């Protein structure tokens, strides 16, 4: 019985979770609504909100888990990548709380945590992936295909050379005048539209890498040209535009994932990160899995976007290896893996 407290503060969500081995006892997330007025995350405001949220969020996580702080065996926290000012809040809190309790700290890479979120056990009873598996990590800041040999041995075999898939969703939404974050808005509208209404050229990038900046520009010019002819073009075609851009992003994502599966011969496939909440992607990958004979792992909705339970479970694997961090470490903004 190992109790681990996980802390996540890399972007604009303050989260704390308690797990017992891989079983989730609590997973508390405080979203920061202050950013929506600015159309994106404002780092200074995020850091300040984390400072206000961190103690209440940890307090609630311990209460919901029905354990006392003295029962904790270790504290796992996101060291990076992310916004430095935000990461500092979680890192400093984890260090000082662990020091006071006399327990070890475990540093966790945010992206690896998304990938390992599939090992969280709760009421949903999802099947855990078997090693080696391929994980398509799609978030606001990253798009990667990762070969996961085991919890401590991962290799990025493909990644974006410019924008992330989440950015492609968010920027397309912004161009259409939809509120931030745009991904969920596009998803909602796409359900009402025709994905074949408009076609956009797809990037020709060799190997397993991605590119989304060309699509964003193509979408921008397409709307600009049509708005010249009809100033209400976006309003009249909102759902079709959302469905078509979503369809294109998913096509781009899945083509390379299929190539990666073919090249590696791995049929155990997972998706992770904020964009894995997208209903179109979840449907399309389920269909592809059936035709390709893949064993597919789609995270429960609550573990798609940023959460501390995934940090705790990534920490649990390191706990088993005795892989603890020292009190003098500092956060990193860019991924080190
Ligand atoms: O993993 P995440 O919560 O944070 C990062 O680490 O970046 O991912 C956030 C991203 C945002 O770009 C957001 O628009 C996107 O995930 N997202 C979605 C959906 N829900 C969140 N994109 C498309 N469809 C969704 N349903
Ligand atoms: Zn994330």
pLDDT of residue 46: 82
**pLDDT for the residue numbered 315:** 98
CA-to-CA separations, 211 to 12, 46, 264, 265, in angstroms, rounded: 25, 28, 21, 24
311-320: average pLDDT: 98
pLDDT digits (tens, 9 = 90+) for 141-181: 899 999 999 999 999 999 999 999 999 999 999 999 998 88
Ligand 1 centroid – CA 172 distance (Å): 13
How many structural domains comprise the chain? 2
Q: What is the pLDDT of residue 336?
A: 73
What mean pLDDT comes out for the span 203-207?
Answer: 94
Say yes or no: 192 and 289 in one domain. yes
CA of 144 from ligand 2 middle (Å) equals 12
Structure confidence by residue, pLDDT tens digits, 46-56: 888 889 999 99
144: its two tokens: 């990667």
Q: Is there a single domain that holds both residue 309 and residue 294?
A: no
Do 294 and 308 fall within a single domain?
A: no
User: How far is CA 263 from each of CA 64, 134, 147, 254, rounded to the nearest angstrom?
Assistant: 45, 11, 12, 14
Task: Please name the residue whose Cα sits nearest to atom 23 of ligand 1.
Answer: 183
CA dist 46 and 32 (Å) reads: 7
Q: Domain range holding 278?
A: 133-298
Please tell me whether residues 150 and 291 are part of one structural domain.
yes
Residues 141 and 284 in one domain: yes
- How far is 71 from 124, CA to CA, in rounded Å? 26
CB 126 within 8 A of CB 300: yes
Ligand 1 pocket test, candidate residues 141, 185, 305, 310, most atoms within 8 A of CB: 305
Does the structure show a pLDDT above 80 at 214?
yes
Q: Average model confidence (pLDDT) for the chain?
A: 95
CA 262 to chain centre: 25
What's the pLDDT score for residue 270?
Answer: 98
State whether 113 and 216 are in the same domain. Answer: no
User: Do residue 200 and residue 272 come from a single domain?
Assistant: yes
Output the six-digit token pair for 128: 């855990």
């Amino acid at each position: 019985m190992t109790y681990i407290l996980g802390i996540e503060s890399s972007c604009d969500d303050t989260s704390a979770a308690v797990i017992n081995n891989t079983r989730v006892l609590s997973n508390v997330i405080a979203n920061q609504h202050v950013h929506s007025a600015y159309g994106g995350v404002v780092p200074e405001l995020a850091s300040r909100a984390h400072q206000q949220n961190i103690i209440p969020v940890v307090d609630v996580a311990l209460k919901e888990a029905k354990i006392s702080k003295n029962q904790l065996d270790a504290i796992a926290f996101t060291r990076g990548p992310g916004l430095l000012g935000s990461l500092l809040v979680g890192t400093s809190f984890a260090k000082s709380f662990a020091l006071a309790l006399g327990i070890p700290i475990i540093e966790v890479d945010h992206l690896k945590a998304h990938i390992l979120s599939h090992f969280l056990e709760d009421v949903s009873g999802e099947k855990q992936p078997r090693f080696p598996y391929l994980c398509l990590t799609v978030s606001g800041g990253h798009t990667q295909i990762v070969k996961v040999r085991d919890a401590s041995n991962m290799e990025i075999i493909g990644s974006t050379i410019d924008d992330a898939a989440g950015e492609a969703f968010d920027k397309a939404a912004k161009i259409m005048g939809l509120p931030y974050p745009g991904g969920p808005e596009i998803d909602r509208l796409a359900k009402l539209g025709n994905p074949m209404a408009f076609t956009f050229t797809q990037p020709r990038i060799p190997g397993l890498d991605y590119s989304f900046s060309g699509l964003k520009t193509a979408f921008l010019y397409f709307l600009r040209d049509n708005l010249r002819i009809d100033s209400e073009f976006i309003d009249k075609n909102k759902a079709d535009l959302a469905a078509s851009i979503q369809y294109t992003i998913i096509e781009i994502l899945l083509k390379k994932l299929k190539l990666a599966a073919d090249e590696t011969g791995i049929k155990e496939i997972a998706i992770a990160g904020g964009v894995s909440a997208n209903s179109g992607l979840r449907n399309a990958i389920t269909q592809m899995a059936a035709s390709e004979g893949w064993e597919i792992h789609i995270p429960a909705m609550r573990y798609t976007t940023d959460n501390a339970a995934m940090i705790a479970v990534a920490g649990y694997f390191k706990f088993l290896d005795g892989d603890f961090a020292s009190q003098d470490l500092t956060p990193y903004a860019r991924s080190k893996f």
